[in-house]
Chain A
């Protein structure tokens, strides 16, 4: 999992500010998945992206949250007008292929967002 890079590792935002979380997938991987983890909870799927496309955003709140994975550069998870309930650890995972096999094994170290 050392190959998936997330930054920042820790992010503190005041209520109403914007949070931008970055994820650089492992080299050669073109599929990115974002998950959110609340304390004492499991990982909850948010959004699945390929380069320049959102494949599945069924786990992402309809308002304030957006994600992108441009042709060049990292994937970005953006949270506008943050609220205290957004405080969580956000993990990114990457894979080279989707659909079959052992393809989603690698997670980044996560970004811990604290909203004050």
Chain B
């Protein structure tokens, strides 16, 4: 089966750094995605990792360790608009994405 775990909720302060973890057990691996989803809106693509290591894109970075089945999304210089759900998703093979339940991040002043 496929299993993706991430924390349900997190709270962080404006201007701070927050790390959202994701662990996965899947039948195969062909990449890990992070999406941002504001309430009532569509998921929007943030990052894609297929090799081990850190991918940096502005204030957002994503890390992958395939041997540990582990990824994290790092958000720096948090802004109020970063309050959203963050979805971790794995592509097990030549198959559609499998999503975790998402982490609801609240950024407070």
A residues whose Cβ falls under 8 Å from a Cβ of B: 1, 33, 35, 40-45, 48, 56, 59, 91, 98-102, 104-110, 112
| Chain A positions within 8 Å of B4 at CB level | 42
- A interface, by DSSP: helix, strand, loop or mixed? loop
User: Do B87 and A99 touch (CB < 8 A)?
Assistant: no
Known contacts A48-B96, A99-B30, A104-B97; is-contact A109 B42 (Cβ 8 Å): yes
When distances are taken between beta carbons in the complex, the residues of chain A under 8 Å from B96 are 33, 45, 48, 56, 59, 104
With a 10 A CB-CB cut-off, give which of A42, A105, A108, A109 has the most chain B CB atoms: A42
Name which residue of chain A comes closest to B97, CB basis: A104
Interface residues on chain B, number (Cβ under 8 Å): 25
- Shortest B60–chain A CB gap in Å is 14
The answer to whether B94 and A45 have CB atoms under 8 Å apart is no
Q: Which residue of B lies closest to A102 (CB)?
A: B48
Chain B residue numbers with a CB within 8 Å of A104 are: 33, 91, 96-97
B43 on interface, CB distance cutoff 8 Å: yes
Which A residues are CB-close (under 8 A) to B41? 109-110
Q: What's the minimum C-beta distance from A56 to chain B, rounded to whole angstroms?
A: 7
Contacts of A48 in B (CB 8 A): 95-96
